[in-house]
Structure 1
Amino acid sequence: MGVGQRVAIRPKIAARLADPERLFELSTAKAWGYGIEEWEALPDEKRDELLEYERQICPRCGNLRSVCSNPDVPWYPQRSMCYATGARELTLRRLHKKHKDPGTDAMAPTDGMTVWMSRDDLSPDDEFV
């Protein structure tokens, strides 16, 4: 199948994928490294435990919701340095400086752009920054 070609999704599959609980179950299985067949082969008790664990995790900080939503829990800032992230953030600042904000009437050249870092120059002719 070529780029841009779509395969028709069977109605039964489309209906299952439209179910938020099924999507949550599939994303949980993926997060834990299970394929669909492996996931469905797990005992119900094990699947239920993993699903409940995922429901209890805060999507913002990764802590248990019962912990991060407690105003009495002390939190201490920590830091670590990631030079790849630093290089990405510098690149994004340069891109935003180069391409001024067009406002809300047009898309900026950076809209939809994903910038990621690699140790190898995978596109030496692409001078987008």
Structure 2
Amino acid sequence: MQKVDINCSDNSVERRCKSIVLQLMNGDTIALPAGKVDVVMINNTDSLYTTGKYYRIERFEDKEWVEIPRKYGSFEDIGYVIKPNGGKRIFTINLQNAEYAYRKGKYRICKIASNDKNKLYIYCTFYIM
């Protein structure tokens, strides 16, 4: 399994990189109280990928990423196709679906994209101020 960690705020990476990119639609900083955010997944590869509604949220604590538990743990098992060479899909992430009181810090959203050969964990880092 391949991990891809691309910071949302570096748009130059999106243009140069032949990978899957996940980024927040409105910058990389969120004010409290945290609500819903939109992310876009962009397929800059030459291959077709699929993804679903599943995501997880993690907080950076004590030099490691810790998953934040969800209030409601299931997702509809729907497959979305993301076409190659710039295909995009927008997802709404509900930050309130968490057994967690957000505070200032560094967080990331993780989504999975896959094709016949690869399963990629795509990360989008953001900050709560």
TM-score (norm 1): 0.17
Whose Rg is larger?
1
Relative contact order higher in (CA < 8 Å, ≥ 6 apart): 2
Higher strand share: 2
Higher helix share: 1
